[in-house]
Amino acid sequence: MTTDPLNVALRDKYSKTGRFYDLLDYPFELMYRSWRPGLLSDVRGRVLEAGVGTGHNLPFYHESVSLCGVDLSPVMLARAQKKSKQARCEVELKIEDATELSSLADNEFDWVFSTFMCCVMPDDLQPQALKQFARVLKPGGKFRLLEVVFSGDSSIEKWQRRASRLVEKLYGARLDRQTVAHIEAEPGLKVTNTRYLKWGSYLLIDGVAVP
């Protein structure tokens, strides 16, 4: 279990938020749910989902996948365990700190997949998590991260900034995280593509592990 003060604070936040997270996130999930099948359509093999949360992605993995889902919050994982019954693939869920991944072996995974984890993770911790992604991925293994950032559309950004304090209080999320820059600074990972799914705000980051 993590002892880093930043991660302890995040875990404690989700011990509270996790109890009503699905209700809180429901309006957004109406949109996200339509994206999830496409995000996972080509994901195969041994897969790590970092920040699995309450398990919204679990029903959409291909039946051939061997999935390990990790999260910092026992409360969130308990809800994911219930959703795992909807999965078509083999699912193992673990309480793990993404900055450590201490129970996972080097070169173990074909894919690392994550949705909205890095925007919750402080910038000070992201390099540690990305180093772990590089470690557990096989050479040539792929990663795909979906994050939310401030929009390039000024009218949307204005609304986001008004809501930013509430979003950070509830989720611990910030829209000014520098995730792409952190990946580019990690020698074991390479960004191969980025694109926005909506509003110039929902950023999809694809990449590969390099020797």
- The neighbour count for residue 97, using CB atoms within 10 Å, is 22
What mean pLDDT do residues 76-82 have?
94
Residue whose tokens read 């820059």: 181
Cβ neighbours for 10, distance < 8 A, ≥ 6 positions apart: 72, 120, 121, 172
Instruction: Assess contact for 108 and 129: CB atoms under 8 A.
Output: no
- Res. 192: pLDDT tops 90: yes
Instruction: Assess contact for 76 and 14: CB atoms under 8 A.
Output: yes
- Res. 209: pLDDT tops 60: yes
- pLDDT recorded at residue 2: 59
- Res. 6: pLDDT tops 70: no
- pLDDT recorded at residue 26: 87
- pLDDT recorded at residue 18: 67
Question: Could you tell me which residue, 6 or 145, shows the higher pLDDT?
Answer: 145
Mean pLDDT, the chain, rounded, equals: 93
**How confident is the model over 114-140, as pLDDT tens digits?**
999 999 999 999 999 999 999 999 999
pTM of the model: 0.92
- With H, G, I as helix, E, B as strand and everything else as coil, classify residue 150: coil
Angle between helices 21-39 and 5-17 (to 10 degrees): 100
- pLDDT recorded at residue 19: 76
DSSP secondary structure letter of residue 59? G
Structural domain boundaries in the chain: 5-209
What mean pLDDT do residues 164-173 have?
88
- pLDDT recorded at residue 3: 60
The C-alpha torsion from 155 through 159 and 162 to 165, rounded to 10°, is -130
- Res. 17: pLDDT tops 90: no
**How confident is the model over 81-115, as pLDDT tens digits?**
999 999 999 999 999 999 999 999 999 999 999 99
**How confident is the model over 51-73, as pLDDT tens digits?**
999 999 999 999 999 999 999 99
What stretch of H or E contains 138?
A: strand 137-148
What mean pLDDT do residues 17-44 have?
90
The tokens for 52 are 């699995």
Categorize the per-residue pLDDT at 13 as very low, low, confident or very high, splitting at 50, 70 and 90: low
Taking alpha carbons only, the member of 42, 96, 89, 41 closest to residue 69 is 96
Task: Write down the CATH number for the domain with range 5-209.
Answer: 3.40.50.150
Q: What percent of the chain has pLDDT over 90?
A: 82
- pLDDT recorded at residue 48: 99
